[in-house]
Chain A
Amino acid sequence: MDDTQILPKLPLSDWIESFVDFLKAYLSGFFDAVTAVLEFIAEGFVSLMAMAPPYVLIILIALLAWWAVNWKLGIFAVIGLGLINNLGYWPELVDTISLVLISVFISMLVGIPIGIWMSQKNSVQSVITPILDFMQTMPAFVYLIPAVVFFSLGVVPGVVATIIFSMPPTVRLTNLGIRQVDKELIEASNAYGSTTGQRLMKVQIPLARPTIMAGINQTIMLSLSMVVIASMVGAPGLGTIVYRAVTQVQVGLGFEGGLSLVILAMLLDRISQGANKK
């Protein structure tokens, strides 16, 4: 041991491991249930999308892009998704879309209520904010270890790690959006005798909507960035191609996988922003 060290090294890693062991021992039933449910949803989603031939889905997504943004994005969707299909990555694309949409959906389901709760009480905000900082700055790889311990390999630990990494923007921006609502409007709502619920539903949330949607857009982008990392624990998808390319030093394969991800990211970003403005 170093002479300059006054205190002996704290056994922090031992503590964390005993804590994880404890959770695994006593909450395994819970983790198994979560695994079963998420797997069911993911597989259901993938097989639903696999039922339609790729070109039908491409046209549907292109129409969505046209409706949400403009015809140019619709054409981009046809060309981009057609390219991915042509390269032979359609099944991986479907897996990735499923991973991203499930993660984003759960992030919204959990994140928006937490954000609303934070906005109502400063004490809640002061507790949650450091947790969010932790979730966002802890290297994403670190989540993979407990995710594997609790949920074994496959799509579920991928979804869990993605949720942890990508949920904070939704929570933060929901909180921020609600807090930014003009003070005079809050006063007006109170002065006319609103209950807390009425004030939230009729004034605060509608006015915070653009900010909340910006948070969701950020969550979508962050969950896409987790796709490659999630593939390390066996989550299927475009990430697997990139990961394989990295380990086998195949520049061409890596570029194909990466390009497919970029196309998907651009489409999801533009479509979600466009839908927000409607």
Chain B
Amino acid sequence: MSSIKVDRLTKIFGKRPKQAVKYLDENKTKDEILELTGMTVGVNQASFEVESGEVFVIMGLSGSGKSTLVRLLNRLIEPTSGDIWLGDQNISEMNKEELRNLRRKKMSMVFQNFALLPHKTIQKNTEFGLEIQGVDKEARAQKAKEALELVGLGNYLDKYPNELSGGMQQRVGLARALANDPEILLMDEAFSALDPLIRKDMQDELMDLQQTMNKTIIFITHDLDEALRIGDRIALMKDGSIVQVGTAEEILMDPANDYVERFVEDVDLSKVITAGHVMKRAETVRVDRGPNVALKLMKENGVSTIYVVDNKKKLLGYVTADQAASAAQEKKGLEDVLTTDIPTVHPETVLADVFTPMFDDKAPLSVVDDAGRLVGIIVRGSVIGALAGDNNVLNGNGGEEHNG
């Protein structure tokens, strides 16, 4: 189900925005319009959809219009034209009262510099949204406490914001947003003011929270690594326009244009590409088929190692041609000769984490799912190919498809 649908949303900063909108329709660029009219195009006909429960990242450099775009969604900035659909409600046509209700109940925002009230305690800050709604004292104190416990600040209720570190302050900002129990979280550069280690912790924590709360999150950032880490899908903005929307892999592997390509060229691919992307189909043999069948399969497929599974496809180990041949001579079963002590990785393991297990064993690395079933193998060539940017070695869809 689509949660938010944004249709040709535009913001012009200036005195006669209609004129600028007309130029936009004529496909004039941001710079041309600035020169012709003196007006700035903040957001240029942005269209995208966000699925319910999705983490949608809007990424761009400063001045790309991403912060304006997120403020158009809850109309902290009034759109010049275009629609924002939340289900069957059009936010851009709401009156003041409807808009206030939307902000109170359905959309909460987290700010770059936390925006906590310095004269109120952590508890009171977290209650703020509920207080505005007129929720009675006890109920809002209870909800605020729960939200603060959720972000790990249950012991800081009576502290003031200036007594907390930046990371803790932003947890309060997050708790304040969660206390309202909104459908949608708007996070404007929420972690950008934090130092890198704290930022990474907060990203992890947000992902953990998201596992249980399943909110629709629209996350603004200028940091590509952050976008890749947390985004289910990413929209890349430049000069007020959205230049590409897609999953992290789509954007990295198939950049829509030169701008995106330049943007992503410095990305450490080993932290993005997963085992699932580069694995190949494994030749397997059921353990009860015996060494002769294993030898035959190896010969047919031209491989020197075959993976041995049980009747539920669970990986038991592998046998080499030598091992299988000796078992056949000595009339032994496969289970007597197979090598069981082999490293395995999960399909979602990133390549940065497969180097060590690959180094430990000469045979291709086995990829197994949560149930211990073999879903594929990784050979060294495809890892090197993937890191070199060769699309041909990639499966494209991550590990998911191979699980079933």
- Which residues of chain A have a CB within 8 Å of any CB of chain B? 182, 184-185, 187-195, 198, 202-203, 206-207
Please report the C-alpha to C-alpha distance between residue A188 and residue B128 in the assembled complex, in whole angstroms.
10
| CB-based contact A192/B104 at 8 Å | yes
| CB-based contact A191/B109 at 8 Å | yes
Question: 1/0 contact trace for B117-128 toward A, CB 8 Å?
Answer: 111000000001
The smallest C-beta distance from B298 to any residue of chain A, in angstroms, reads 64
| CB-based contact B131/A202 at 8 Å | yes
The 3 closest A-B pairs by CB, nearest first: A193-B104, A193-B103, A188-B115
24 A–B contacts from the bound complex (CB under 8 Å): A184-B111, A185-B117, A187-B71, A187-B109, A188-B109, A188-B115, A188-B128, A189-B132, A190-B76, A190-B103, A191-B107, A191-B109, A191-B186, A192-B109, A192-B128, A192-B176, A192-B180, A193-B103, A193-B129, A193-B132, A198-B132, A206-B117, A206-B119, A207-B118
Please report the C-alpha to C-alpha distance between residue A195 and residue B180 in the assembled complex, in whole angstroms.
17
Query: Which residues of B sit under 8 angstroms from A207, Cβ to Cβ?
Result: 117-119
The smallest C-beta distance from B104 to any residue of chain A, in angstroms, reads 4
User: Which residue of chain A is the closest to B129 with respect to CB atoms?
Assistant: A192
Question: 1/0 contact trace for B143-158 toward A, CB 8 Å?
Answer: 0000000000000000
User: Which residue of chain A is the closest to B128 with respect to CB atoms?
Assistant: A192
Query: Which residues of B sit under 8 angstroms from A193, Cβ to Cβ?
Result: 100-104, 129, 132-133
- Contacts between chains A and B (CB distance < 8 A), count: 56
| CB-based contact B108/A191 at 8 Å | yes
Q: Is B74 an interface residue (CB 8 A)?
A: yes
Which of B71, B113, B115, B129 has the most C-beta atoms of chain A within 10 angstroms of its own C-beta? B115
List B residues 48-94 near A (Cβ within 8 Å).
71, 74, 76
Please report the C-alpha to C-alpha distance between residue A195 and residue B118 in the assembled complex, in whole angstroms.
20
| CB-based contact A191/B131 at 8 Å | no
User: Which residue of chain A is the closest to B134 with respect to CB atoms?
Assistant: A198
Query: Which residues of A sit under 8 angstroms from B100, Cβ to Cβ?
Result: 193, 195
Which of B101, B128, B176, B180 has the most C-beta atoms of chain A within 10 angstroms of its own C-beta? B128
Query: Which residues of B sit under 8 angstroms from A194, Cβ to Cβ?
Result: 132
Please report the C-alpha to C-alpha distance between residue A198 and residue B129 in the assembled complex, in whole angstroms.
11
User: Which residue of chain B is the closest to A183 with respect to CB atoms?
Assistant: B115
Query: Which residues of B sit under 8 angstroms from A191, Cβ to Cβ?
Result: 74, 76, 103, 107-109, 186
Given contacts A187-B109, A190-B76, A191-B76, 16 further A-B contacts (CB under 8 A): A187-B76, A187-B111, A188-B109, A189-B132, A191-B109, A192-B128, A192-B129, A192-B132, A192-B180, A193-B101, A193-B103, A193-B133, A202-B131, A202-B132, A206-B119, A207-B118
Query: Which residues of A sit under 8 angstroms from B112, Cβ to Cβ?
Result: 184
The smallest C-beta distance from B219 to any residue of chain A, in angstroms, reads 15
The smallest C-beta distance from B125 to any residue of chain A, in angstroms, reads 10
Please report the C-alpha to C-alpha distance between residue A189 and residue B176 in the assembled complex, in whole angstroms.
12
User: Which residue of chain B is the closest to A199 with respect to CB atoms?
Assistant: B132
A interface, over-half SS: helix
The smallest C-beta distance from B362 to any residue of chain A, in angstroms, reads 57
User: Which residue of chain A is the closest to B130 with respect to CB atoms?
Assistant: A192
User: Which residue of chain A is the closest to B113 with respect to CB atoms?
Assistant: A184
List B residues 151-173 near A (Cβ within 8 Å).
none
Query: Which residues of A sit under 8 angstroms from B132, Cβ to Cβ?
Result: 189, 192-194, 198, 202
Please report the C-alpha to C-alpha distance between residue A207 and residue B324 in the assembled complex, in whole angstroms.
80
The smallest C-beta distance from B143 to any residue of chain A, in angstroms, reads 14
Please report the C-alpha to C-alpha distance between residue A182 and residue B115 in the assembled complex, in whole angstroms.
8
The smallest C-beta distance from B165 to any residue of chain A, in angstroms, reads 18
Please report the C-alpha to C-alpha distance between residue A176 and residue B179 in the assembled complex, in whole angstroms.
33
Query: Which residues of A sit under 8 angstroms from B101, Cβ to Cβ?
Result: 193
Please report the C-alpha to C-alpha distance between residue A182 and residue B112 in the assembled complex, in whole angstroms.
13
Q: Which of A190, A195, A203 contacts B117 (CB 8 A)?
A: A203
| CB-based contact A188/B111 at 8 Å | yes
Query: Which residues of A sit under 8 angstroms from B76, Cβ to Cβ?
Result: 187, 190-191
Question: 1/0 contact trace for B176-206 toward A, CB 8 Å?
Answer: 1000100000100000000000000000000
The smallest C-beta distance from B386 to any residue of chain A, in angstroms, reads 42
The smallest C-beta distance from B114 to any residue of chain A, in angstroms, reads 8
User: Which residue of chain B is the closest to A187 with respect to CB atoms?
Assistant: B76
| CB-based contact B108/A192 at 8 Å | yes
The smallest C-beta distance from A168 to any residue of chain B, in angstroms, reads 27
Please report the C-alpha to C-alpha distance between residue A21 and residue B112 in the assembled complex, in whole angstroms.
60
Query: Which residues of A sit under 8 angstroms from B186, Cβ to Cβ?
Result: 191
Q: A192-B132, A193-B103 are in contact. Are A187 and B115 (CB under 8 A)?
A: yes
